[in-house]
Structure 1
Amino acid sequence: MASIDTYLHIIGIELLAMLAIVLPLLDDKVHKRALSTVFLAVQGFMLAHFATHLLPSKIAAFIYSSHHEYRSIKTLGPNRT
């Protein structure tokens, strides 16, 4: 059985494909603008999600670099602040 993450990837890609097909067919500017905003939002979330898959250790190192209490390697020396 595939993971929930795989299903979310498939749903996101399908949603982007459907929006890419429907957007050129619309004539109403209000609906086109709304769906363009949805398309960009979904694409942004998908890109951010893929980036967290590709760079998990670098993102974690960036987040936890300033929090000394979260370091996994404890030093025996004096605490530096």
Structure 2
Amino acid sequence: MASLDTYLRIIGIELLAILSIILLLLDNRSHKRALSTVFLVVMGFMLAHFATHLLPGKIAAFIYSSHHEYRSVKTSGLDRT
């Protein structure tokens, strides 16, 4: 059985395809601008979703590198303040 994550990716890709087809068929400038904004928002969420799946270790290392209390291995070097 496929995971919820897979279903969300499929729905996102289908939504982008539908929006792009509708954008090509529209002539009204204000509707086109609104749908372009929706398209960019959906694309942004999908890119952020893919980035968090592709780079979880690097993102966690970046976030926790500045918080010394989260380090599990204590170094014997100089203490930063």
TM-score when normalising by structure 1: 0.89
**Counterpart residue number, 2:20:** 20
**Counterpart residue number, 2:62:** 62
Between Structure 1 and Structure 2, how many residues are aligned?
80
Structure 2 unaligned residues grouped into runs of 5+: none
Give the Cα separation in 1 of the matches to 2:7 and 2:38: 20
Residue identity in the other structure for 1:80: D
Give runs of aligned pairs for residues 37-76 of structure 1, distance below 5 A: 37-71=37-71, 73-75=72-74
**Once the two structures are aligned, what percentage of the paired residues are identical?**
74
Residue identity in the other structure for 1:75: K
Root-mean-square deviation over aligned CA pairs: 1.6
Dislocated runs of 4+, deviation >3 Å: 76-79
Structure 1 unaligned residues grouped into runs of 5+: none
TM-score when normalising by structure 2: 0.89
